[in-house]
Amino acid sequence: MALIETTDLWKSYQMGAETIHALRGVSIQIGKGEYVAIMGPSGSGKSTLMNLIGCLDTPSKGDYFLNGKLVSGMNDDELAAIRNREIGFVFQTFNLLPRATALHNVELPLIYNGTPAKERTEKARIALTKVQLEDRMLHKPNELSGGQRQRVAIARALVNNPSIILADEPTGNLDSKTSEDIMSLFDHLYSQGNTIITVTHERDIANHAHRVLSILDGQIASDQAGARKAALTH
């Protein structure tokens, strides 16, 4: 069974008298433990697809199954519960609380789902250790470099042990050396069995994935093995 399965997924918006089709019948399957990049230029529909996969939005038409559950018909409360349990988000802008320590920022998803305080702290410590930030746990975001802040965001994404890590332009605010460090971290997390989906318009970021879905005008234009996987098979 696929971890993610979409069938004829459409997303349409009304702009005055005009109907904009952001997605036009997207059908994909992503298995557990895959590392997939969704690539496309601005306006291609990749962010819309990410929002649907991440249960941040619902399709206008079509079915979306996540872990065998039909999520395309769920209400907002049900979607919020699925998001918290199944998906770890990593954003370009880090989305950290400025006055909170790294440890507290990582604890946030566990606070929302009612995990007891002692267990919460332990899980957050483990997640920060996984991203090599055990010596920065009590630092606040303004005391951390951009790369360290993104590591905190990745630890927060990991803390619930989600089914999917969904990363939206995860290196968009980082210099090239730091970007490479963060992508190496994703490589490591993938090798540990995590399912990773990155959304990017940059080819060198997509090259880290083992499968690249290219999207254009709201449709899947190609579905190919990534450069890493191609290199491994030659």
Does residue 11 form part of some domain? Answer: no
Specify the CATH number for the domain of residue 138: 3.40.50.300
Which pLDDT score is estimated for 93? 85
pLDDT at 76 over 70: yes
Question: Has residue 220 been placed in a domain?
Answer: yes
Domain-located, residue 119: yes
Quick one: average pLDDT of 223-233? 70
Structural domain includes residue 150: yes
- Please determine, for residue 52, whether its predicted confidence score (pLDDT) is greater than 90: yes
> Is the residue at 10 inside a domain?
no
pLDDT over threshold 70, residue 231:
no
156-173 tens-digit pLDDT:
999 999 999 999 998 888
Banded model confidence at residue 230, pLDDT cuts 50, 70, 90: low
The whole-number pLDDT of residue 84 equals 87
Domain assignment of residue 127, yes or no: yes
Phi-psi region of 3 (alpha: psi -120 to 50; beta: other; left: phi over 0): alpha
Tell me which residue range forms the domain holding 173.
Answer: 32-57+82-233
In this structure, the number of other CB atoms found within 10 A of the CB of residue 223 comes to 12
pLDDT reading at 234 higher than 50: no
Share the mean pLDDT of the chain: 92
What total number of domains does the chain contain?
1
The average pLDDT across 115-144 equals 95
Q: Can you give the pLDDT at residue 229?
A: 60
Q: Does a structural domain hold residue 8?
A: no
Confidence of residue 233 (pLDDT cuts 50, 70, 90): low
pLDDT reported for residue 3: 96
Alpha helices in the chain (DSSP H): 46-53, 76-86, 102-112, 117-130, 146-158, 176-191, 203-206, 227-233
What pLDDT sits at residue 86? Answer: 92
Q: Hey, which of 41-45, 77-81, 121-125 has the most confident mean pLDDT?
A: 121-125
Q: Model's pTM, two decimal places?
A: 0.90
Q: What is the pLDDT of residue 184?
A: 92
The answer to the question of residue 6 being in a domain is no
Residue-wise pLDDT tens digits, 78-114: 999 999 889 999 988 889 999 999 999 999 999 988 8
Q: 174 or 118, which is more confident?
A: 118
Summarize the confidence of residues 182-210 as an average pLDDT: 92
Single-letter residue type at 207: N
Q: 3-class SS at 207? A: coil
pLDDT of residue 228: 64
Cβ atoms 44, 21 nearer than 8 A = no
